[in-house]
Amino acid sequence: MDSNLSKLNKMNKIAVIGANGRTGIEIVRQALEKNIVVKALVRDKQKINISNPNLEIIVGTPEHYKDVDQAIREVDAVCVALNICRKSDWPWSKVVSPYDLLDVSMKNIVKAMKENGINRVITISAWGTGDSYEETNWMFKFLINKTNVRYAYAGHEDQERTLTQSGLDWTSIRPVGLNNKQKHKEILIRIKRNDPLKRMISRKDVAKFILDITDDERYFQTSPSISND
């Protein structure tokens, strides 16, 4: 599948949960470039250095239902870019997020979506979650099992479980290792797990893929793994 072949996006207004993060802010930027109206849920308004009439910033936390409810009202789709954070990218670095952040947040998101009649949600998970674990190489398996990265993977497992039981039009994207490269490269997409992926993908291309598939029914209730070519 090629996300560039997806039909014209009909999602005119989206919520971005976790818009302060390195991938979340890319989703916000690229959505605004497409003239999509964005409601961004953030803990710290000062960390979003974007001024745009199509951007509405909601200060709050996805751990509080009322904040999520406010952020997703009257949107066409919800994009979730949350993760269990550490002090640094070093795998053994101290975890600074609540261990149940992803579980609590996704339950709030699903509840609020149902209350507001919104069906489409896309979340960023990780390569190695669920049935993609067997695709990973020894290095990823070591990180998942032996370092503090495991707390993020446990959270991704929890949020995917909530999504699969939700009945919503969900997609849980499983990117490989993330980098901050700015140049766009082709995106490899794997759903049936038959072909290998490369080791890295840029956050910029993850955001692009999310926005490309927001209304693409081919990805409803799927968990595609993606990498750069």
- pLDDT tens per residue, range 106-118: 999 999 999 999 9
Nearest Cα neighbor of 71 from 24, 116, 11 is 116
Distance of CA 197 to the CA centre of its chain: 19
Output the pLDDT for position 5. Answer: 37
Output the pLDDT for position 8. Answer: 41
Helix (H, G, I), strand (E, B) or coil at 4: helix
- pLDDT tens per residue, range 87-106: 999 999 999 999 999 999 99
Specify the amino acid at residue 201: I
Task: Please count the structural domains in the chain.
Answer: 1
Q: Stretch 189-218: mean pLDDT, rounded? A: 92
126 φ/ψ angles, rounded to the nearest 5 degrees: -160, 145
The model's pTM is 0.92
Beta strands in the chain (DSSP E): 13-17, 37-42, 55-59, 77-80, 120-124, 169-175, 177-179, 187-190, 200-202, 225-228
Output the pLDDT for position 3. Answer: 40
State yes or no: pLDDT of 1 exceeds 70: no
Q: Which domain holds residue 68?
A: 3-228
Query: What does the alpha-carbon distance between residue 211 and residue 135 come to, in Å, rounded to a whole number?
Result: 25
Q: What is the mean pLDDT of the chain?
A: 93
Output the pLDDT for position 9. Answer: 55
Look at the chain and count its residues. Answer: 229
Q: What angle do CA 40, 114, 35 make, to 5 degrees?
A: 35
State the sign of the Cα–Cα–Cα–Cα dihedral 11, 16, 20, 24.
negative
CATH number at residue 103: 3.40.50.720
Query: What does the alpha-carbon distance between residue 96 and residue 102 come to, in Å, rounded to a whole number?
Result: 13
State yes or no: pLDDT of 4 exceeds 60: no
